[in-house]
Amino acid sequence: MSSISDINKRAEEELSARIQQQAAVAKLGQDALLGIGLDKLFDEAVAITAKTLDVEYSKILELLLEGDVLLLRSGVGWKDGLVGFATVGAEVNSQAGYTLLSSEPVIVENLRTETRFNGPPLLHDHNVVSGMSVIIHGKGRPFGVLGVHTTRLRFFTKDDIHFLQAVANVLANAIERKQTEESLAHSKAEFEAMFNFIPDAVIFADVNRRIVMCNPAVQSILGYTHAELQGKTTEILYAEKSDYEEQGRLRYHVGATGHGRPYEMRYRRKDGTLLAAETHSSPVKDPSGKTLGFVAIFRDLAERKRMEEHLLKTCKLESLGVLAGGIAHDFNNILTAILANISLAKTYVNPEDFIYQRLSEAEKASMRARDLTQRLLIFAKGGAPVKRVASLVELIKDSAGFALRGSDILCDFYFSENLWSAEVDEGQISQVIHNIILNAVQAMTDGGAIRVNCENMTVKHTEAENSLPLLRGDYIKILIQDNGIGIPAENLKKIFDPYFTTKPKGSGLGLATTYSIIRNHNGHISVESKPGDGTTFYIYLPASHKKISAKEKTEKSPLFGKGKILIMDDEDIVRDAAGSVLKYIGYEVGAAKDGAEAIELYKKGMESGRPFDAVIMDLTIPGGMGGKEAIKKLLEIDPEVKAIVSSGYSEDPVMAEFRKYGYCGVLAKPYEAEQLSRALSDVIKNGK
């Protein structure tokens, strides 16, 4: 039986041990709060537990994400090579595994007699007899196990368990704090990356509208650095005080309702220029709902407005183009009758007679009217260019030279070596160069020189990725620069609008036509100008790597001919005028007002044994069968039919690709007697 002195001595020893354990936990907790780092804290924890509990071995095992593997993170007393990244199985029959499964502290008084588990080889190799382990808790799942072991038979007390649990709790808190810090750091890094990557300007302001922070896009959009804005009120950003007050009213509404619609506002950049921006504003609140400030996102509307203007201009051109095309079509029918009759009348008059001179003047006036309708046709939607592969060098030189005739302006040409070819309508591109050069001449009142530069260029990015509305591919870039009076800013964005002109006698169709021609060639045209500094036009045309086809030599065909011709046209004046010309030059003529009548007459001609040698067909017949449908029927009747398509205007590409649709030739309205006879001669004699 123990004596009182033995009991007192044991009590003193237990009290001393408890005090020592509490001091050890306090020291470890203090170091943990100082943030010494988990690895050092783990090393200190195993050292403290081994010393305080007077055991040979102590270890911290981390449960890996796989869930069945424990990693030895830190330990005391183990053989070399085991401390560090040695793995220990977490089977049910191991002490650590059992601790994790039971979620309770596990004490093994004698490993050799314990029936719950055999223990892992690691403990047997180190002659472990007694041991104790507790869980190191974590968020959602245990972090791992803290255990101590000894080679002596040892009975661990409740105080020992509480001490080990206290150490484990210190470690758990440190681990959770570290994970929280890492999570916050990760979130902060993600936020900063996202915040800095946003292409729109983002500004945070407090409730007093003082700027707290902003992203890098603010400098590129508004011109201010973060340092220049921090602490300033948002008033610094607004164009006028009224804008600032209006924005305050809108922000008050957002703060009161928690939401608001995007609104457009004017701002002033650091350099003083104005910026139109779409603004999104939202309150920033704490968990209790108190408003801490506001975040505002500014989106530069310049690009969107540019695209809207481009779209509006395109829609305007297309709408007016339909109207212009319809007018040109009807006008060309009238001109066809006028020109055909004038050219026929001239054949009956002596060139020395007064009436011949009057007819020639009328013919010239009609030709000028034809040029006007040609402008309308090119401007109109669907005025498809008739393209061929050509070199732009001579085309540009000839067109510029023609525009410069009679002026004192020079033209300096710079062409890159090995300049690519282009697939273009030479007449239309010649008109583009002529229009721009002529405008330059009229702007250079004090004389001087125009610079024309041509070079190859490749667009490597899509339209959405580059500053030009061009698809990927090879282009020829044409620069035409003058040193004239320049264009005022208020007029610059209107110069391609139809009927806009600042010239007293201008039609306003020159640059509108130019714009349409380049658009129909899948190219792009832009302009830069400042009053007093001249004007520069940039033209981009798709390059072609096809071989340039040799130009055919055009010889004047005989005016007179022989054969039977069928004319199909819905206009009486066109049928009468063309018929009169054809009869005069030796042809027999039949006439039809639409495709159905033409097919019937063609059939009768074949059945009678006197077929038509050629058919001239109007492409568009309002309310009836036109040339596109009629040619299909004629080819079924006679695969060898020699048909010529004729039109003053059509959206259909038949005029540009007539052979593809079964025609042998094309005759654009209005036409003269000579053009009519030459087209027939080519088709009848040569089959082309």
- Element holding 72 (H helix, E strand): strand 69-76
- What is the rounded average pLDDT of the residues 107-116? 78
Average pLDDT, the chain: 80
Six-digit token pair at 226? 């973060």
Most confidently modeled range among 167-171, 188-192, 266-270, 375-379: 167-171
User: Who's near 315: CB < 8 A, 6+ residues apart?
Assistant: none
Q: Which amino acid is at 124?
A: H
Which is more confident, 648 or 504? 648
Max mean pLDDT among 78-82, 250-254, 660-664 falls in 660-664
pLDDT band, very low/low/confident/very high, at 612 (cuts 50, 70, 90) = very high
The pLDDT-based confidence of 499 (bands split at 50, 70, 90) is low
Name the CATH superfamily housing domain 198-300: PAS domain (3.30.450.20)
Q: Bridge-partner residues for 479, per DSSP?
A: 453, 538
238 vs 267: CA distance, rounded Å: 4
Would you state the pLDDT for residue 215? 87
Task: Find the range with the poorest average confidence among 296-300, 502-506, 664-668.
Answer: 502-506
pLDDT over 70 (residue 230): yes
For residues 438-474, one letter each, b for 16 or more C-beta atoms within 10 angstroms of the residue's C-beta and e for the rest, the string is bbbbebbeeebebbbbbeeeebeeeeeeeeeebeeee
Phi-psi region of 531 (alpha: psi -120 to 50; beta: other; left: phi over 0): beta
The string of DSSP codes covering 330-375 is HHHHHHHHHHHHHHHHHHTS-TTSHHHHHHHHHHHHHHHHHHHHHH
Q: Per-residue pLDDT tens for 589-603?
A: 999 999 999 999 999
User: Residue 593, Cβ neighbours under 10 Å: how many?
Assistant: 17
Contact in structure between 438 and 505 (CB atoms under 8 Å)? no
Which backbone phi and psi does 539 adopt, to 5 degrees? -120, 135
Confidence (pLDDT) at 67: 61
Residue whose C-alpha is closest to residue 679's, from 577, 554, 534: 554
Q: 57-61, 326-330, 477-481, 593-597: lowest mean pLDDT where? A: 326-330
User: If pLDDT is split at 50, 70 and 90, which confidence band does 557 have?
Assistant: very low
Sign of the four-CA dihedral 75, 79, 83, 87: negative
User: 116: which 2 tokens?
Assistant: 């719950």
Q: Which has the higher per-residue pLDDT, 21 or 564?
A: 564
Spacing of C-alpha 23 from chain mean position: 67
CATH homologous superfamily of domain 392-544? Histidine kinase-like ATPase, C-terminal domain (3.30.565.10)
Under the banding of pLDDT at 50, 70 and 90, the label for residue 150 is very high
Q: What is the pLDDT of residue 1?
A: 52
Structure tokens at 613: 């040698």
Lowest-pLDDT choice from 129-143, 196-210, 238-252, 291-305: 238-252
Residue 466 is classified by DSSP as: S
Q: Parallel, antiparallel, or unpaired: how do β-strands 473-482 and 524-529 relate?
A: unpaired
Higher pLDDT, 628 or 467: 628
Q: Which pTM does this prediction carry?
A: 0.42
Q: In the predicted model, is pLDDT for residue 613 greater than 70?
A: yes
Q: Look up the CATH number of domain 4-181.
A: 3.30.450.40
Report residue 4's pLDDT band, with 50, 70 and 90 as the boundaries.
low
**CATH 3.30.450.20 domain extents, the chain:** 198-300
Backbone angles phi, psi at 285, to 5 degrees: -120, 155
How far apart are alpha carbons 569 and 480 in whole angstroms?
44
- Phi, psi (rounded to 5 degrees) for 667: -135, 105
Q: Retrieve residue 158's tokens.
A: 């409740």
Cα gap 229→212, rounded to integer Å: 8
Q: Do 203 and 234 meet the contact criterion of CB atoms below 8 Å apart?
A: yes
Tens digit of pLDDT for each residue in 5-29? Answer: 666 666 676 677 778 878 878 888 8
Distance, in Å, from the CA atom of 580 to the CA atom of 574, rounded to the nearest integer, reads 10
Given a cut of 60, whether residue 688 has pLDDT beyond it is: no
45-52: average pLDDT: 91
What one-letter code names the amino acid at 507? S
Task: Work out the average pLDDT over 660-684.
Answer: 86
pLDDT of 321: 63
**Tokens 């922000």 belong to residue:** 251
Which residue shows structure tokens 């005759």? 667
DSSP, res 632: H
Q: Rounded to an integer, what distance in angstroms lies between the CA atom of residue 132 and that of residue 112?
A: 15
Where along the chain do the CATH 3.40.50.2300 domains lie? 329-373+555-688
Report percent pLDDT > 70 for the chain: 82
Residue type, 452: V
| Every domain range in the chain assigned CATH 3.30.565.10 | 392-544
Q: Please check the confidence at residue 120 and state whether its pLDDT lies above 70.
A: no
Domain covering 329-373+555-688, topology: Rossmann fold (3.40.50)
Q: Evaluate whether 458 touches 495 at the Cβ level (below 8 Å).
A: no
**Looking at the predicted structure, is the pLDDT value of residue 544 above 60?**
yes
Q: Which three-class secondary structure state does DSSP give residue 681? A: helix
Structure tokens at 188: 């902060």
254 contacts 229 by C-beta, under 8 angstroms = no
Give mean pLDDT, residues 25-40.
84
**Does pLDDT of 202 surpass 70?**
yes
Among 11-15, 424-428, 627-631, 663-667, the least confident range: 11-15
Q: What percent of the chain is modeled with pLDDT above 90?
A: 20
The whole-number pLDDT of residue 244 equals 66
Q: What is residue 516's predicted lDDT score, i.e. its pLDDT?
A: 82
Reply yes or no on whether the pLDDT at 495 is more than 70: yes
Residue 155 confidence (pLDDT) above 80: yes
CATH 3.30.450.40 residue ranges of the chain are 4-181
- Helices 354-379/510-520 angle, 10° precision: 60
96-105 pLDDT per residue, tens: 766 777 778 8
- Mean pLDDT for the stretch of residues 664-668: 88
Q: Does pLDDT of 382 surpass 70?
A: no
Parallel, antiparallel or unpaired: strands 587-592 and 563-568:
parallel
Q: What is the pLDDT of residue 269?
A: 85
